[in-house]
Structures are given as structure tokens and as C-alpha cells.
Structure 1
Amino acid sequence: MIVLGLTGSIAMGKSEAARMLRRFDIPVFDSDAAVHSLLAEGGGAVDAVAAAFPGVVQNGAVDRKALGAQVFGEPDKLAQLEQILHPKVFDAQRRFLADADQKASFLAALDIPLLFETGGEAKVDRVAVVSAPAPVQKARALARPGMTEQRLNAVLAQQLPDAEKRRRADYILNSGDGKRPMLRDITAMLRDLQGVKAGVWPWPVADDHWSTFALPADRKPPHA
């Protein structure tokens, strides 16, 4: 089974790309949804987050705004939160891929917003980056409730530049001209993936998330 990493910066259209993949019966793991589930009432990360960030749990669930207020602009606290969440999301990804493999899917996709930033390309066979021109991205982002230009700039500062993501991608899914061109890109990508040899799955067993992964020589980033 081929594992595809689906990524892209904020407001690039990654969610729409994931929906299109599902229309082709490709199972897609939503990392953001997994985090929401972990922080919801009864979620597997609530107790650990409550212990690390006092006052953020309300009615049994993590108040994401309160949590964001504590970690936003605080790299050490953000790293502490990631140490809680990332291994749990990794375990959920492993279960998802095992299920897809059992169902004989030829391809499964992992929607990971910070794939390159976390070294996640070592976990996948190929990477698809959803991309749009910067003015389109900015307009989309600022149309979101609660988004400001200052907050957008802070988010972008935590992400690799789009140009770098495009440079490191195996496939670029262009969303700037609307859904139809991106659908054409996805169709061409799926056609090409039919000839790709799977290699990363099953993942190696390890006590922590992807410490045992090593990027194959032919997948090394150009600057490495």
C-alpha cells in the first residue's frame, strides 16, 4: 500500500483536496480532526494537557482558545504541547493505515499540515503539496472568523514557505484557479501513483513516534 502525505500551508485548499481524494475512494486521515478528538471531552490528551496547562479544561474538554492563548508565541510551551499530542496522533495514524491496508487499499493519504516541519516526509512514499498564489492564500485566510493579518503572519512564521514546500513536493496540487484545475492535478497524480512502488508501510515498531524513520536516499530534500 502506498502512503501519500498531503500537506500545504494555511488557507491553501488542503481540505478541499482531501475531499476530492475521498471522492476517488482514497482513505484520508485528518490530523487536525484527530487533534480535535484528543482535546474533546473524554479525549485521550485531556488529562495530560490539563496537567501541563492549568485552567484550559472546561466541562471535561480542552478550551482550544484558552490553550491557544497560553502557547501562541511561546515556542517552549508549544513544544511541550506537541510532545503530548504528536505521539497520540502518530498512534492514530498507524491504526488508520493498518485498517486501510487490511481493506486492500492501494493508496492511503495522511493529511498533515506540518508534514515537512516535523520530518513527516520520512513516513510517506510520496508528498503532495496543495498550493495557491500568495494573494489568494491571504484573502482566503483573512476571510476566516477571528483571523487577523498579525495572526496570519504568526502562523506563516511557523510554517515552511510555500516555495520551499513546492520544491520538496513530489506532486503540486494547484488550488488558486478553482476546483476543476486542482481536480485535474489530483487525477494526474493518482494515475502516476499507480506505477509507484510502496515502501514505507508497514512502519517500524518504536516506543516513540517517528524516531526510527529515515528518509531514503532518493527522497532526501535537495538541500540536505
Structure 2
Amino acid sequence: MSFALGLTGSIGMGKSTTAKLFAEQGCAVWDADAAVHRLYAPGGAAVAPMRAAFPEAIIDGAVSREALKRIIIADPLALGRIEQIVHPLVAEDRAEFRTQATADILVFDIPLLFEGGGETQFDAVATVSAPPEVQESRVMERGTMTSAHFHHIRNKQMPDADKHARADYVIVTDTLEHARAQVLRIVTEIREKIRAGMKNA
């Protein structure tokens, strides 16, 4: 019996680091972004259908994210067509992980879990959170986007307070040790539920 925990959170909230903390506790982690990278890589399942729909997006046998960005800017309707190709393939990748993983707790790292209405697929959902100034500072330190671009992305995501209200667990990532302590508490609680369920089965 495995417990499926959805893990989500807005940009810069510390979700990737928190996913690693769950892995430290023996949980199996599935990463939605990593799944897309696998699908887009040479030989990935998304390459052929993408080549058929958007041949200009294929560079060196792989789907180029930069090319996709240019396509979407030129034709906003292209995003829907891309999602129709990619979303079912990501769902297949997730389902395969779910059937093959042997850990007692399966953690699904999905950035837009609530935005996509996917929370019903999991036994519980945890969202990561940090103060707005910490969130922005983390993203700016990456050096990959401007402040304006960051605010544009954040404004498109569900407000942090709404995620708090919908999540079963909120993990505050102000410090690594605080986050680790919260993850340990959540894992301990879930494992107690699993044991109780086995006794009642």
C-alpha cells in the first residue's frame, strides 16, 4: 500500500529542495518537469508528435523549449495544441512511475497541481511557501529572468494563500532545517496512517 502525496508551490518557494527532503526520508519522488525533459529529449515520446505538429520546434532530434516559446509568442493558440500533445504523455509517465515505485510514500512534484485541478488524484497535497520577498530573492539569484518576468509568472499562478487553504499540509521553507523538520513530521504522520490502515485492512 502506497500513499500518494502531491507536492506543489509557486515559483521560488523551494519545491525542488523540499522534494529532495522527502527523498531523504525514503519517499519515491516523481518530478513533472523532469518528465517533460525526458519526453522532449532525443528519442522521447513527444518528439514525433511534436515534429508532426510543429516541425520548427525540433532541433538536433529533440524538442526545443526555446523554439516552443517563439511559436507560442507568434501564435497564442499553439499553446493549447502543445498541451494536447504533452499532457497525456506526462500522465502516462506518471502512471508508469506509480505502478513501478515500491516506496511506501510516493511524492508527485507538480508545479501547477491546483491550477490544473489535479489534487483529487492524490491522497493528500502539500504546498511549499515562503515570504514574498524571499520568493522573489530566490528567483532573482538564479539570474534567469527579470523582475518583471518573475511578477508576470507569479501573477498567473494561484495566490499562495489560496494554495494554503486547499492543501492538507503547508511547508514553510524559510530555512532548510525548518523545512526538513516539517517534512519529517509529515512523513511520520503519513506512515502512521499507513500502519493504521494495514491494521484495519
TM-score, scaled to structure 1: 0.81
> 2:187 aligns to what?
190
> What secondary structure is seen at the aligned counterpart in 2 of 1:194?
helix
What are the within-5 Å matches in structure 2 for residues 47-62 of structure 1?
47-62=48-63
Q: Give distance in 2, aligned partners of 1:123 and 1:79.
A: 22
> What secondary structure is seen at the aligned counterpart in 1 of 2:5?
strand
> What secondary structure is seen at the aligned counterpart in 2 of 1:37?
helix
Identical amino acids, percent of aligned pairs: 40
> 1:113 aligns to what?
111
Deviation sequence 1:126-150 (CA, Å, 0-9, x none): 0000110111111111222331122
> What secondary structure is seen at the aligned counterpart in 1 of 2:127?
strand
Q: Give distance in 2, aligned partners of 1:16 and 1:77.
A: 32
Would you tell me which structure has more helix in proportion to its own residues? 2
Does the 8 Å contact 2:25/2:184 carry over to 1?
Answer: no
Residues 53/136 of structure 1: CA separation in 2 closer, same or farther (3 Å cut):
same
What 5-or-longer segments of structure 1 have no aligned partner?
199-224
TM-score, scaled to structure 2: 0.90
Q: Give distance in 2, aligned partners of 1:93 and 1:130.
A: 21
Q: Give distance in 2, aligned partners of 1:86 and 1:43.
A: 14
What 5-or-longer segments of structure 2 have no aligned partner?
196-201
> 1:208 aligns to what?
none
Match of 1:164 among 162, 165, 176: 162
Q: Give distance in 1, aligned partners of 2:166 and 2:56.
A: 40
- TM-superposed CA distance for 1:72, in Å, is 5.1
Does the 8 Å contact 1:72/1:78 carry over to 2?
Answer: no
Q: Which amino acid aligns with 1:157?
A: N
Q: After alignment, is 76-85 or 7-16 more displaced?
A: 76-85
Q: Number of residue pairs matched?
A: 194
> 1:122 aligns to what?
120
